[in-house]
């Protein structure tokens, strides 16, 4: 998996704070759920053939006008439904929440997982995922503010060697 974001406009849909035991010490942990709308080209970041397995060239006259072989905008098997989950994860990723060009909150050891795809006819995909991190009190407050604002700019930079193989 090669998933990353560079200042993407995402929607923070849920924030859950909890305590985790780290040895004898309880540490604040936070789960953040996100979604964002993008081109189905993002599917290649998860697996090289995923996009071509889920989408095909449109069969309409309009689709025939576009000679680009990568113009895959029609759902290949719409009867399967349009919502899929992906089991991969990124460990130790850096997350940077921004407001404009200025970094607002940064985490350097986040876990990104629970990926989901909501496939749309026309080549749009809504990608959902969860980030887990350990905020301090000030960061937690800023995250709550981002939750109220609904949208933020997010950069995700995977750590070297963060890819975990899929079970199977």
What integer pLDDT is reported at residue 124 of this predicted model? Answer: 95
Give me the residue label for tokens 């895959």: 72
CB-facing half-sphere around the CA of 30: CA atoms within 13 A:
21
pLDDT band, very low/low/confident/very high, at 158 (cuts 50, 70, 90) = very high
Min mean pLDDT across 32-46, 59-73, 95-109 is at 59-73
Q: Give me the pLDDT at residue 61, please.
A: 57
Q: What percent of the chain has pLDDT over 70?
A: 89
pLDDT at 33 (0 to 100): 97
Say yes or no to pLDDT of 68 above 50.
Answer: yes
User: For residue 1, what pLDDT band results from cuts at 50, 70 and 90?
Assistant: confident
Report the pLDDT averaged over residues 28-43. Answer: 96
Average pLDDT over residues 20-33: 94
* pLDDT of res. 165: 41
Strands (E), 40-77: 55-56, 74-75
pLDDT the model gives residue 166: 40
The domain ranges of the chain are 5-47+82-157
* Spatial distance between the Cα atoms of 115 and 35, rounded to a whole number of angstroms: 9
Q: Is the pLDDT of residue 149 over 70?
A: yes
């Amino acid at each position: 998996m090669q998933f990353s974001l560079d200042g993407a406009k995402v929607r923070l849909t849920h924030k859950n704070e909890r305590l985790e035991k780290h040895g004898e010490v309880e540490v604040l942990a936070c789960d953040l759920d996100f979604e964002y709308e993008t081109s189905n080209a993002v599917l290649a970041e998860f697996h090289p053939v995923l996009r071509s397995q889920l989408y095909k060239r449109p069969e309409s006259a309009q689709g025939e006008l576009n000679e680009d072989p990568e113009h895959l905008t029609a759902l290949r098997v719409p009867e399967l439904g349009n919502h899929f989950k992906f089991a991969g994860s990124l460990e130790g990723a850096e997350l940077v929440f921004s407001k404009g060009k200025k970094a607002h909150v940064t985490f350097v050891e986040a876990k990104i997982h629970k990926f989901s795809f909501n496939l749309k006819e026309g080549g749009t995909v809504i990608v959902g995922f969860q980030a887990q991190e350990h905020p301090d009190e000030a960061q937690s407050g800023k995250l709550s503010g981002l939750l109220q604002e609904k949208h933020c700019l997010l950069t995700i930079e995977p750590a070297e060697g963060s890819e975990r193989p899929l079970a199977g």
